[in-house]
C-alpha cells in the first residue's frame, strides 16, 4: 500500500513514463529491493493501480445495485458513469495507456480476468431487476449482463483517448439499452 501510494503521487507529479522505480521507492522511504519483493516491474505496479481503480468501480456498482427505489436503468447508468470515471485523472489515463500497450497484453488480460467475474453477478442483479420491472426484454439476466460488460469492455480495450471515450460512451450506452430491449427514452442517455 505504501508503494502504491508513493507511485500515485509520483505519477500525478511526473507522469507514468517519466517515473522510475527509484522515484517511487524514494517517495515511499524504502529500499529499492523492497519494491521488488512486491512487484517484478513498474508495469506490475501499474496493474495493481488499475486493479485498485477497478475495485472502486465494483464497489460503486455494488452500492448502486443495492440502492432501494432506483430503477435498473438508473443503476446501469451508475455503472456507466463509474466506468467513465475509472480514468478521469491524467495519471490514470496514462496508466491505462501503458496497460493497453501490446507488450502488456498479458497484464491487461490478467486484470480483466480478475474484475469481470466480480462485476458479472452485480450487473446480472441489475438486469434481472430490469426484467422484473418490464424495462428489459431479454430471456436471461446472465446473458444480458455479459452483453453489458462486453459492450463496455470493447470500448475499454479499443480506447484511443479521452475524446474517444466521451464520444463513444453515450452511443454504447444507447446501443446497450436497446440490446437489453429497453424501449424508454434514450435520447438523453
pLDDT digits (tens, 9 = 90+) for 133-168: 999 999 999 999 999 999 988 877 665 455 577 778
| DSSP sequence for 60-78 | HHHHHHT-TT--HHHHHHH
Three cell numbers, residue 19: 517515473
Cα-flanking dihedrals φ and ψ of residue 166, to 5°?
A: -60, -35
Write down the pLDDT at residue 9.
Answer: 84
Three cell numbers, residue 27: 517517495
**Rounded CA separation 54/169 (Å):** 18
SS3 call for 29: coil
Write down the pLDDT at residue 140.
Answer: 95
pLDDT digits (tens, 9 = 90+) for 17-30: 788 999 999 999 99
Write down the pLDDT at residue 92.
Answer: 64
Residues of the chain with pLDDT under 50: 160
Q: Would you state the torsion angle of the CA atoms of residues 18, 87, 115, 23, taken in this order, to the nearest 10 degrees?
A: 20
- Cell 444507447: give the residue: 174
Write down the pLDDT at residue 4.
Answer: 85
- Distances from the Cα of 139 to the Cα of 78, 103, 136, angstroms: 23, 39, 9
Amino acid at each position: 500500500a505504501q508503494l502504491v501510494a508513493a507511485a500515485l503521487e509520483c505519477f500525478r507529479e511526473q507522469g507514468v513514463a517519466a517515473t522510475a522505480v527509484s522515484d517511487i521507492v524514494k517517495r515511499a522511504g524504502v529500499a529499492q529491493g523492497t519494491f521488488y519483493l512486491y512487484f517484478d516491474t513498474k508495469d506490475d505496479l501499474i496493474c495493481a493501480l488499475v486493479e485498485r481503480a477497478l475495485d472502486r468501480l465494483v464497489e460503486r456498482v455494488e452500492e448502486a445495485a443495492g440502492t432501494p427505489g432506483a430503477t435498473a436503468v438508473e443503476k446501469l447508468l451508475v455503472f456507466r458513469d463509474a466506468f467513465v470515471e475509472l480514468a478521469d485523472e491524467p495519471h490514470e489515463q496514462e496508466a491505462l495507456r501503458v496497460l493497453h500497450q501490446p507488450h502488456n497484453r498479458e497484464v491487461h488480460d490478467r486484470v480483466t480476468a480478475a474484475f469481470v467475474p466480480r462485476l458479472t453477478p452485480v450487473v446480472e442483479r441489475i438486469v434481472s431487476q430490469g426484467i422484473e420491472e418490464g424495462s428489459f426484454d431479454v430471456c436471461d439476466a446472465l446473458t444480458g449482463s455479459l452483453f453489458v460488460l462486453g459492450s463496455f469492455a470493447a470500448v475499454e480495450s479499443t480506447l484511443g483517448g479521452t475524446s474517444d471515450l466521451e464520444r463513444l460512451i453515450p452511443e454504447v450506452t444507447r446501443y446497450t439499452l436497446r440490446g437489453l430491449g429497453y424501449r424508454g427514452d434514450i435520447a438523453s442517455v
